[in-house]
Amino acid sequence: MNEYIRAVYEGVLNGEGEATTTAVAAALQAGQGPAHILTDGMIAAMAEVGRLFEQGDYFVPEMLIAARAMQAGLELLRPHLVQADIKSSGKIVLGTVKGDLHDIGKNLVGMMLEGAAFDIVDLGVDVPPQKFVDAVRAHQPQIVALSALLTTTMPNMKATLDALTAAGLRDQVRVIVGGAPVTEVFAQKIGADGYAPDASRAVTLAKSLVAAA
Amino acid sequence: MTLPALSPLSATGSRERLLAALNHREPDRVPFDLGSTQVTGIHVVAYQNLRAALGLPPVTPTLCDTIQQLALPDDDLIERLGVDVRGLFPLNSHNWNIVDVDQGEAWEYHDEWGITHRRPKDVLYYSVVKSPLAADPLTPEAVAAHPWPWTGDPRRIAGLRELALAYRAQGRAVMVKGVLAGIFEMSQRVRGMQALLMDLAADERLACAFLDKMLELKLAFWEMALPQLADVVDVISEADDYGTQTSQLVSPRMFRKLFKPRLAALFARLKQLAPNAKRFFHSDGNIRPILPDLIEIDVEVLNPIHITATGMEPAALKRDFGRDLAFWGGGVETQSVLPFGTPQDVRDNVKRNIEALAPGGGYVFNTIHNIQADVPPENVLAMWEALREGGAAH
Q: What would the pLDDT profile of B175-201 be if each residue is shown by its tens digit?
A: 999 999 999 999 999 999 999 999 999
* pLDDT value of residue B349: 98
Residues 304-343, chain B, touching A (beta carbon < 8 A): 334-336, 339-340
On chain B, the residues whose CB falls within 8 A of the CB of A59 are 247-251, 254
pLDDT surpassing 90 at residue B310: yes
Q: Which domain holds residue A17?
A: 3-83
For an interface test with B, give the residue of A98, A101, A149 to mutate (most B CBs within 10 A): A101
- The CATH number given to whatever domain includes residue A46 is 1.10.1240.10
Q: What CA–CA distances, in Å, run from B54 to A141, B5, B47?
A: 51, 9, 11
- The count of structural domains within chain A is 2
Residues 120-159, chain B, touching A (beta carbon < 8 A): 120, 122-125, 127, 129
SS3 B201: helix
* pLDDT value of residue B12: 61
Domain identity same for A74 and A137: no
Closest-CA residue of chain A to B124: A99
Domain identity same for A79 and A99: no
Residues 82-121, chain B, touching A (beta carbon < 8 A): 118, 120
Partner-chain contact A183 B194, CB within 8 Å? no
Report which of A77, A69, A88, A46 is spatially closest to residue A199, judged by C-alpha positions.
A46
Q: Exposure of B99 by Cβ count < 10 A (0-12 exposed, 13-18 middle, 19+ buried)?
A: exposed
pLDDT surpassing 50 at residue B276: yes
Domain identity same for A49 and A96: no
Residue B344 pLDDT grade (very low, low, confident, very high; cuts 50, 70, 90): very high
Domain identity same for A45 and A101: no
Asked if A128 reaches chain B (Cβ–Cβ under 8 Å), the answer is: no
Average pLDDT along chain A:
95
Q: In the sheet that B85-88 helps form, which strands lie side by side, from edge to edge? A: B85-88, B173-177, B235-239, B278-282, B301-303, B326-328, B363-364
Confirm if B341 and B376 have CB atoms less than 8 A apart.
no
pLDDT surpassing 50 at residue B253: yes
Domain identity same for A115 and A76: no
Tell me which of A63, A83, A103 is where a domain ends.
Answer: A83
Question: What are the residue ranges of helices labelled H in chain A?
Answer: 3-13, 17-29, 34-36, 44-54, 60-83, 104-115, 129-139, 155-166, 184-189, 199-212
List residues bridging with B223 in a β-sheet.
Answer: none
* pLDDT value of residue A82: 85
pLDDT surpassing 50 at residue A155: yes
pLDDT average, residue stretch B114-131: 90
Q: What whole-number percentage of chain A has pLDDT above 70?
A: 100
Domain identity same for A12 and A116: no
On chain B, the residues whose CB falls within 8 A of the CB of A197 are 245-246
pLDDT surpassing 70 at residue A28: yes
Which pairing describes strands A143-147 and A174-178: parallel, antiparallel, or unpaired? parallel
Tell me which of A28, A56, A83 is where a domain ends.
Answer: A83
- For chain B, what are the domain ranges? 14-62+73-92+137-392
Radius of gyration of chain A (CA): 18
For residue A131, is it left (φ>0), alpha (ψ between -120 and 50) or beta? alpha
Please indicate whether residue B263 or residue B246 has the higher confidence score (pLDDT). Answer: B263
Tell me which of A59, A83, A107 is where a domain ends.
Answer: A83
For residue range A87-143, list pLDDT tens digits in order. 889 999 999 999 998 888 999 999 999 999 999 999 999 999 999 999 999 999 999
| C-alpha atoms less than 13 angstroms from C-alpha of A88 in its C-beta half-sphere | 18
Closest-CA residue of chain B to A54: B247
Q: What CA–CA distances, in Å, run from B31 to A44, B172, B179, B330, B388?
A: 54, 11, 26, 13, 10
Q: Chain centroid to CA B379: how far?
A: 21
Residue A163 pLDDT grade (very low, low, confident, very high; cuts 50, 70, 90): very high
Q: Could you say which DSSP state residue A121 is in?
A: E
pLDDT surpassing 60 at residue B332: yes
pLDDT surpassing 50 at residue B8: no
CATH class, domain B14-62+73-92+137-392, is alpha beta
On chain B, the residues whose CB falls within 8 A of the CB of A68 are 198
Confirm if B311 and B248 have CB atoms less than 8 A apart.
no
pLDDT surpassing 60 at residue B303: yes
Domain identity same for A119 and A199: yes
On chain A, the residues whose CB falls within 8 A of the CB of B197 are 60-61, 64
ipTM: 0.88
On chain B, the residues whose CB falls within 8 A of the CB of A150 are 125, 372
pLDDT surpassing 80 at residue B106: yes
Domain identity same for A69 and A105: no
SS3 B374: coil
Asked if A62 reaches chain B (Cβ–Cβ under 8 Å), the answer is: yes
